[in-house]
Amino acid sequence: MFGLEKKDARLLIIVCILTMFAPFILNPFPEGSALAQFNAGYPDLMQRFVIFGIFAIGFNILFGLTGYLSFGHAAFLGVGSYAAVWMFKLLSMNVLPAIVLSVIISGLFAMLIGYVSLRRSGIYFSILTLAFAQMMFALAYSVLTPITGGETGLQLALNDPRILGASQTPEGNIPVPSLFGIEMRNSFEMELGAWVFTFNMGYYFCAIIMILAFYLAVRIFRSPFGLMLRAIKSNQQRLNYTGLSPRPYTLAAFVISGMYAGLAGGLMASMDPLAGAERMFWTASGEVVLMTILGGAGTLIGPVLGAGIIKYMENILSKINGDILHAWFSFMPDGLEDFIVTIIYPFIGKGWHLTLGIIFMLVVTFLPGGLVEGGQRIANRFGRKSDDDTSGATSEPAE
């Protein structure tokens, strides 16, 4: 199916179902209920789920397959965002040309940076990528202000010389990104009893692109090229003894990974036409590393899961404050209520990073393969139980 093995095709179908039905899956609680705080089915957050999923999928091609850990991958995310906004300012508000330019420009930057950085490996490679990313951040933040907008970011304006589109709407407003006239912000709400589900054009556009990006990653993983990348990760010195140079393969993986990051940056600008230097900062690069390791480096669906969990915690868990906690535990006696809130509060709200750090340490310590390994262990345990039950039933006759 689609040129994939049965297992990979099943995984692709699962990803398609999860993305297409996300408005239902992410809104499990009715509006107005105490648990509605945990609903995540609003357009902006759903867009972030799939966009950062693309970012993590691309990073996993480099880190998961070759073992090269880049600490500066957010540079390509920022470059892609800047390229998309400039395309909106100069050409048209159609998102397709902006995304294509984002991928091309990010690929060129990745080729240049990768050509230099891949002369070293290990921690030296990581430090080189971090240095390049911080240099690009500094340039975007201060030196290249006429191009990047500096600390305020690159934004659309009413006087943009847009060649294939109007500079402003008949109402005097700035046009919004669209796909052949269909605006990315268009949404449709469906009410089913106490539940409200939102279907957003921008989200489904990003979701379809993520599915295509995931399919391409599967093909790369299962291709001879992917096998060469695994060989590089396994034993690069032994590969050198065969007479094959690993550099063309690692450079290709670096460029592909950078183009994925540029695609994510272009989609971010397409949903919200603003590009800032903060997208290139080292913390953004560290975030995609966390996503990949948390979900499972070297696995197919792991980075997508990691991206979803981190973005969920960042946008949902961080909004829970003391008042919400007191409302949840108001049925308890006052002293016990205050004690429970005091214990829980440091791990939510502004302290959500503490919870993320604890989860990350537990995963690295007990599940080196990430959440995917945890799921596989659970599946194997249940499978072993069922096998034992079956063997017991067949080998021992009933009395």
Tens-digit pLDDT profile for residues 106-134: 999 999 999 999 999 889 999 999 999 99
Within-domain flag for 333: yes
CA distance 347 to 355: 5
Last-in-domain residue among 224, 256, 279: 279
Instruction: Note whether 245 and 342 are same-domain residues.
Output: no
Residues 328 and 210 in one domain: no
Statement to judge: residues 143 and 247 lie in one domain:
yes
Q: Tell me: do 98 and 243 sit in the same domain.
A: yes
How many H helices and E strands in the chain? 17, 6
Both 341 and 229 in one domain: the answer is no
CA distance 273 to 99: 12
- Residue 166 domain-assigned? no
- Quote the number of domains for the chain: 2
Q: For residues 48 and 124, what is the distance between their CA atoms, to the nearest angstrom? A: 31
Q: What is the CA radius of gyration of the chain?
A: 23
Q: Is 19 exposed, middle or buried (0-12, 13-18, 19+ CB in 10 A)?
A: buried
Residues 211 and 354 in one domain: no
271: containing domain: 6-26+40-161+174-279
138: in domain: yes
* Domain end (from 228, 263, 279): 279
Q: Are residues 193 and 49 in the same domain?
A: yes
Q: Are residues 235 and 107 in the same domain?
A: yes
SS3 248: helix
Task: Give the DSSP H/E element, type plus range, for residue 34.
Answer: none
Cα 33 to chain centroid distance, Å, stands at 29
Question: What is the Cα–Cα distance from 313 to 335, expressed in whole angstroms?
Answer: 29
| 284 located within any domain | no
H or E, element range at 191? strand 187-192
Q: Which H or E run contains 178?
A: strand 178-179
Contact 35, 194 (CB under 8 A): no
- Residue 113 carries which side chain, given as an amino acid letter? I
Non-local CB neighbours of 280 within 8 Å, separated by 6+ positions? 74, 75, 77, 78, 79, 133, 136, 137, 140
Pair (66, 200) in one structural domain: yes
Q: Of all helices (H) and strands (E), which one includes residue 196?
A: strand 195-200
Contacts of 335 (CB under 8 A, 6+ apart): none
Tokens of residue 137, six digits: 């951040």
Among 230, 261, 279, identify where a domain stops.
279
Task: Give the separation between CA 202 and CA 267, rounded to whole angstroms.
Answer: 9
Is the Cβ–Cβ distance between 285 and 73 less than 8 Å? yes
CB 52 within 8 A of CB 311: yes
Distance CA 325, CA 313 (A): 16
The SS3 call for residue 199 is strand
Q: Side-chain half-sphere of 349: how many Cα atoms within 13 Å?
A: 12
Looking at the fold, whether 325 and 272 belong to one and the same domain comes out as no
- 251 and 365 co-located in one domain: no
Under-50 pLDDT residues of the chain: 390-399
CA quadruple 289, 294, 297, 300: dihedral, nearest 10: -110
| Element at 103 (helix H, strand E) | helix 95-117
Q: Which residues contact 315 (CB under 8 A, 6 or more apart)?
A: 40, 45, 48
243 and 373 co-located in one domain: no
Q: Is residue 261 part of a domain?
A: yes
- Cα 30 to Cα 36: distance, rounded to the nearest angstrom: 6
Tokens of 309: 């969990």
> Model-level pTM greater than 0.85?
yes
Question: What are residue 187's DSSP bridge partners?
Answer: 200
